[in-house]
Each structure stands twice: as C-alpha cells, then as structure tokens.
C-alpha cells in the first residue's frame, strides 16, 4: 500500500476525518458508540464497486482515536484490493473497536456492535480479526446476518487462520520458484515473526517441506511453548531484522519494512501474512533495489477472506483449497510481470486490482 505510517502526534495535526493521510476516497465511515457497554467503534467502508465491503473487526487498545481511525482507513482500503486481486465479488471494509480485547470485550458489547453492523443493511459484512474469535462472530450472528467467520457448529466456515497460512505458504513457494528456479523450501532458513493463529499454522507447512524455521514473538512464554511443540529455534537476540535468513515471514503486525529495518534485512524473500507490511510504497522500491523478492501481503494473505467468503458462495472445502492454491500462480505471474515492467510487485498487484474495479465501475455506469 502506498500510505504512510505516521505518529499519532502527526495524525492529530490533520483534519479529523477526511483530511487524514490515510483517507482515500472511502465511501462511508461510521462512528459507533454505546454508553452502557462502553462500545467505541469505527466501521470503514472503502469501496463497494465489486460487492459488499467485507473485512474483519479488530479490537485493539489504541493510544488515541486518531490511531484507530488511521488503522480502519488503511485496513479497509487494503481489503478492497485484496478481494479485487483474488477475484472475489467483494468490496473493502473493516471495523475497529477501541479497547482491550482481554479485559473489555463482553457479549453485550459485541451485540451492540453487531447492531451497528446490522444497521448498514449488508453494505458491510464483518468477520474476525486481531482480538476477535469465531466465538465472538457467533455472538454477532445472534443479532445480524451480515457476518462471516462463524463457527462450524453454527453453520459457518470456522477459524480462517489455517487457510490464511496455507495461502501464505503458496505465495512463499511461488516467490521461491521465481527467485531460485525451484519452489522447494527444503533447507531454506525461514524466520516467522509472530507465531499466533497464522504463524503457528505456517510453521507446520514449512516443517513438512523441510525448511529450517526460527521463530520470534513478543510473548516469550508463548514462543517457548511453540518451540517445544514443533522443535524449532527461537530468535534470542534483540535485532531480529539482522538475523541471517533466506526468507522473512512477517506474521505479526504491519509496517515492519520501514526506514529502520530495511537496511538490516538480509533475506532474499519476504512473504508473510501481516497486513500493510510496507510502511510506505517506496520501501517496496528499496527492496527491489536490494534484490529482495517481496510477495505482496494483500495477495498472499487472501486465504482468510477466501475461507470466510465461502459462507456466502456455499463453496465446499475442495473449492476453498483450489481457490487458495491459485495464490501460487497469481503470485508468480505478478512477480514476472513486475520484473518485465520494471515496477515493484506491490505496484503490479495494485494495478491489476484497480483495473478490475474500474472495469466493473464502467460496466455499472453503462
């Protein structure tokens, strides 16, 4: 994405909403508040040309409201291009709830939030994101039908994370094919940063393929537990970006490829699940100059949305798998196209996504 990551101090200098740096012609921004439950949420609908705006709800203890707004603007925009590049008939949206998911999330708060989602009449469809679980989506489902990522017991598709990890694995293999001429990951050293829902599932694929996995997670006890379970190494130093590795898989939070880290990264390939990995578009150019192959995040982490979208299209498990495996060919195609046209893979992927939206927009105008 070509949006800057800036501090909340800088954000507060801009106009409160439409003047924000991350505002990019979003169609609708909904501020939701409920006195009794303490709900403070923002729903961002970026674009609905291809279909209803689908994207998860993130619950995070933002330092300021500016940060929450900035996040929902960036994330909803990313969803537009993720669905477009993946060939889904969906627009881009996202919601953020301001608060600590561990201490402030209650069923009542989730029901109130669901009421706001319902009030949009299907223009926005929610799902889980950071701080949310399938159980929370089951609660949302009690109030509104405009939710996916519901548990299998309640007729949904269940946790999307394993499928996100499978898509990332496909994208990583395609990047390896492009870089090394073979997509085998056997013997390649891969650093997985963030071993939560997606990171852990990714480790399983990597180990099965014979990769040498090192993990890093801010929660020490959790990373040690994962290391014990899968017999992988834990990164011990204090500068993970300088760690020698063939492949860097960012699976924690976004913007880890930035001015501070870019000159340290020694990997030949970057392929991970985190949204908005490039702090700014120019960091994509810098990676290219360094010869580092970057598999665009919004392309290779689409396994999750493919998974939950199956609830709308009634796809079975085979169809979900097939569509997720398509990420391999699309990634390879985009890397080749980017090299041919001397643009970054991110720019090449974004161009295809935007063309699909424009085409549909023009058809609708006819």
Ligand X SMILES: NC(=O)c1ccc[n+]([C@@H]2O[C@H](COP(=O)([O-])OP(=O)(O)OC[C@H]3O[C@@H](n4cnc5c(N)ncnc54)[C@H](O)[C@@H]3O)[C@@H](O)[C@H]2O)c1
Which of 275, 288, 310, 346 is in the footprint of ligand X by CB under 6 A?
Answer: 275
Which of 44, 91, 171, 194 is in the footprint of ligand X by CB under 6 A?
Answer: 194
Q: Is 234 labelled a binding residue?
A: no
Give min distance, CB of 213 to ligand X, in A: 14
Give min distance, CB of 188 to ligand X, in A: 20
Q: Where are the beta strands (DSSP E) in the chain?
A: 28-34, 39-47, 53-54, 57-60, 91-98, 124-125, 189-193, 212-216, 233-234, 247-250, 269-270, 293-294
Which of 208, 219, 322, 359 is in the footprint of ligand X by CB under 6 A?
Answer: 219
Of all residues in the shown chain, the one whose CB is closest to ligand X is: 196
Give min distance, CB of 80 to ligand X, in A: 14
Q: How many CB atoms lie within 10 A of CB 361?
A: 12
Distance separating alpha carbons of residues 254 and 273, to the nearest angstrom: 9
Which of 73, 203, 251, 332 is in the footprint of ligand X by CB under 6 A?
Answer: 251
Catalytic residue among 9, 40, 82, 94: 94
Q: Check: CB of residue 188 under 8 Å from CB of residue 176.
A: yes
Give min distance, CB of 340 to ligand X, in A: 28
301 part of the interface to ligand X, by CB under 6 A: yes
Distance separating alpha carbons of residues 337 and 245, to the nearest angstrom: 26
- Nearest 5°: the CA angle 161, 165, 166 is 115
DSSP states of 329-353: HHHHHHHHHHHHHTS-HHHHHHHHH
273 part of the interface to ligand X, by CB under 6 A: yes
Distance separating alpha carbons of residues 169 and 297, to the nearest angstrom: 12
Which of 139, 198, 206, 332 is in the footprint of ligand X by CB under 6 A?
Answer: 198
Q: Check: CB of residue 244 under 8 Å from CB of residue 265.
A: no
Q: What are phi and psi of 298, to 5 degrees?
A: -70, -15
214 part of the interface to ligand X, by CB under 6 A: no
Q: Check: CB of residue 243 under 8 Å from CB of residue 235.
A: yes
Q: Is 197 labelled a binding residue?
A: yes
94 an active-site residue? yes
197 part of the interface to ligand X, by CB under 6 A: yes
Nearer to ligand X, 223 or 288 (CB): 223
Terminal CA-CA length for the chain: 30
What does the per-residue mask of binding to ligand X show for 81-120, with x meaning CB under 6 A?
----------------------------------------
55 is written with which tokens? 């994207």
Q: Is 303 labelled a binding residue?
A: no
Give min distance, CB of 180 to ligand X, in A: 25
Interface with ligand X by CB under 6 A: which range of 178-186, 269-277, 286-294, 336-344? 269-277
- Interface residues toward ligand X, by CB under 6 A: 129-130, 160-161, 164, 193-199, 216-219, 222, 251-253, 273-275, 301, 304
Q: Which residues are catalytic?
A: 94
Q: Which residues are annotated as a binding site for NAD(+)?
A: 194-199
């Amino acid at each position: 994405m070509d949006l800057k990551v800036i501090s909340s101090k800088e954000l507060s200098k801009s106009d409160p909403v439409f003047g924000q740096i991350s505002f990019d012609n979003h169609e609708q921004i909904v501020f939701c508040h409920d006195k009794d439950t303490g709900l403070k949420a923002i729903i961002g609908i970026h674009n609905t040309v291809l279909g209803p705006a689908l994207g998860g709800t993130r619950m995070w203890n933002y330092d300021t409201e500016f940060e929450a707004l900035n996040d929902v603007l960036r994330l909803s925009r990313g969803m537009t291009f993720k669905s477009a590049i993946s060939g889904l008939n969906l627009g881009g949206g996202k919601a953020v709830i301001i608060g600590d998911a561990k201490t402030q999330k209650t069923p009542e708060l989730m029901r109130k939030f669901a009421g706001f989602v319902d009030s949009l009449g299907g223009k926005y469809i929610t799902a889980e994101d950071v701080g949310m679980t399938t159980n929370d989506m089951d609660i949302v489902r009690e109030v509104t039908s405009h939710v996916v990522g519901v548990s299998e017991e309640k007729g949904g598709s269940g946790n999307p994370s394993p499928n996100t990890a499978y898509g990332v694995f496909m994208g990583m293999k395609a990047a390896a094919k492009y870089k090394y001429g073979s997509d085998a990951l056997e013997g390649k050293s891969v650093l997985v940063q963030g071993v939560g829902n997606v990171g852990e599932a990714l480790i399983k694929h990597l180990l099965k393929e014979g990769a040498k996995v090192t993990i890093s997670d801010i929660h020490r006890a959790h990373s040690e537990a994962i290391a014990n379970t899968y017999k992988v190494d834990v990164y011990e130093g204090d500068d993970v970006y300088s760690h020698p590795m063939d492949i860097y898989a960012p699976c924690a939070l976004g913007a880890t490829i930035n001015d501070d880290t870019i000159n340290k990264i020694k990997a030949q390939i970057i392929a991970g699940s985190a949204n908005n990995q490039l702090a700014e578009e120019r960091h994509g150019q810098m990676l290219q100059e360094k010869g580092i192959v970057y598999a665009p995040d919004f392309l290779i982490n689409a396994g999750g949305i493919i998974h939950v979208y199956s609830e709308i299209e009634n796809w079975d498990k085979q169809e979900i798998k097939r569509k997720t495996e398509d990420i391999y060919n699309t990634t390879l195609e985009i890397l080749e196209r980017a090299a041919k046209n001397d643009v970054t893979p991110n720019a090449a992927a974004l161009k295809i996504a935007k063309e699909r939206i424009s085409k549909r927009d023009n058809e609708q105008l006819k």
